[in-house]
Amino acid sequence: MTLFEKVIEIYREFYICLHCLGRMFSLLGTDTTNYDRGKSLLLAMTMENHRVYLSRNESHEDAISNLEILAEKARFNPAQSVLHKEGIRHDIITSTEKCHLCNDIFNNVPTYAKIAIKNLANLEFKNILIGTALASQIVNREDSFKAEFNLLDSESFKNHFNREVGKELSSILEKPPEFSNPDITVIYTLDFATSEVNLVIRSLFIKGRYNKFVRGIPQTHWDCRACRGKGCKSCDFTGKQYQTSVEELINPEFVKEAKAESSKFHGAGREDIDVRMLGKGRPFVLELKNPKIRTLDLEKIQ
């Protein structure tokens, strides 16, 4: 079966959008988009069938049938124009039927980008990545479709969505994509009718050294041994075994400046509570989780 014959077979049974038509043959041809691939495919088929129709050979009637499928089932305007020009009557399609594979999601990429932009407001980041979690209904329908028509050169729904929404967001926000270590990953949870957006914000890591000039201060927070942090008479209801720690002295200002949700102190090695830390100090790394601000004035904080 030729490529053109397979497309006709698809449209006899289902309506799919140009994005999905193109991605069903995404591995064929390069340096183009799935939308342009799908449109070019239908245009080439329209031209070939128009040529066959004009030749008046034995395939004349097949060409008319194919043009009618392209005009009516694929809703392709150039095919409709050819039939009109040649005086061939065909049904005028006013159907609101949506794409069988994506439910017209790919025709509404800007809408999905706007949803993410609202969630990204007031966040500082230099780059971005898009991820998708698909409902089983979408995955199962596409798998069945590919199996029915033996489509072996396709691109997945997820890859196409991630790329197209990513391009739209990068253009609007003027932020490049980053595939290995993005500042923010936008995760879309999709089914045919609804969508939800969640953000995965990469932690901000601050490397430094600290000195401890007095004894009796632990490196990290300790819960009260008696109540395990719940608060009791033994700890004066603070929930803490010791009044403060190096972690509690360093972390709060960074959390405040980065507008982070929380933090984690990573000291280089263990340190007894009754020792001091002099000289160049002990190295540490401070992890700021879900920061809204990533560019900090470290001298000011120090």
**Residues 158, 139: Cα–Cα separation, whole Å:** 9
Dihedral sign computed on CA atoms, order 64, 6, 139, 163 = negative
Taking each helix axis as running N to C, give the angle between helix 77-85 and helix 60-68, from 0 to 180 degrees, rounded to the nearest 10.
130
Residue 287: CB atoms within 10 A of its CB come to 17
**Residues 205, 295: Cα–Cα separation, whole Å:** 11
| Interior angle at CA 186, CA 185 and CA 192, nearest 5 | 145
Please tell me the number of Cα atoms within 13 Å of 12 on its side-chain side: 9
The active-site residue, picked from 36, 223, 272, 274, is 272
- 36 catalytic? Reply is no
**Best CA proximity match to 108, nearest among 212, 30, 221, 188:** 188
> Torsion-angle region of residue 301: left (phi > 0), alpha (psi -120 to 50) or beta?
alpha
Provide the token pair at 224. 């009260």
Residues belonging to the active site: 272
